[in-house]
Amino acid sequence: MNDQPRNLADIRMDYMLAALDEQTAGADPISFFDKWFIEADTSGISEVNAMTLATVGAEGTPHARIVLLKGIDERGFSFFTNYQSHKGNQIDANPNVALLFFWKELERQVRIEGTISKLPPQESDEYFQSRPAGSRLGAWSSPQSRVIETRQVLDANYAQYQQQFADGNIPRPPHWGGYIVSPTRIEFWQGRSSRMHDRILFTRLSDGTWQRSRLAP
Catalytic positions, written as ranges: 195
Q: Is 54 in the site for ligand FMN (CB under 6 A)?
A: no
Q: Is 50 in the site for ligand FMN (CB under 6 A)?
A: yes
Q: How far is the CB of 85 from ligand FMN (least distance, A)?
A: 3
Q: Is 93 in the site for ligand FMN (CB under 6 A)?
A: no
Cα–Cα distance, 109 to 113 (Å, whole number): 13
Q: How open is the CA angle 139-174-168, to the nearest 5 degrees?
A: 55
Q: Which amino acid is at 211?
A: Q
Q: Is 117 in the site for ligand FMN (CB under 6 A)?
A: no
Q: Nearer to ligand FMN by C-beta: 26 or 143? A: 143
For 160, residues 6+ apart whose C-beta sits below 8 A from its C-beta are: 141
Cα–Cα distance, 158 to 85 (Å, whole number): 18
Q: Is 81 in the site for ligand FMN (CB under 6 A)?
A: yes
Q: Is 87 in the site for ligand FMN (CB under 6 A)?
A: yes
Question: Residue 97 half-sphere exposure, CB side, CA atoms within 13 Å?
Answer: 31
Site for ligand FMN in 61-80 (CB under 6 A): 63, 65-68, 79-80
With beta carbons less than 8 A apart as the criterion, state whether 188 and 25 touch: yes
Q: Is 148 in the site for ligand FMN (CB under 6 A)?
A: no
Site for ligand FMN in 173-202 (CB under 6 A): none
Q: How far is the CB of 204 from ligand FMN (least distance, A)?
A: 25
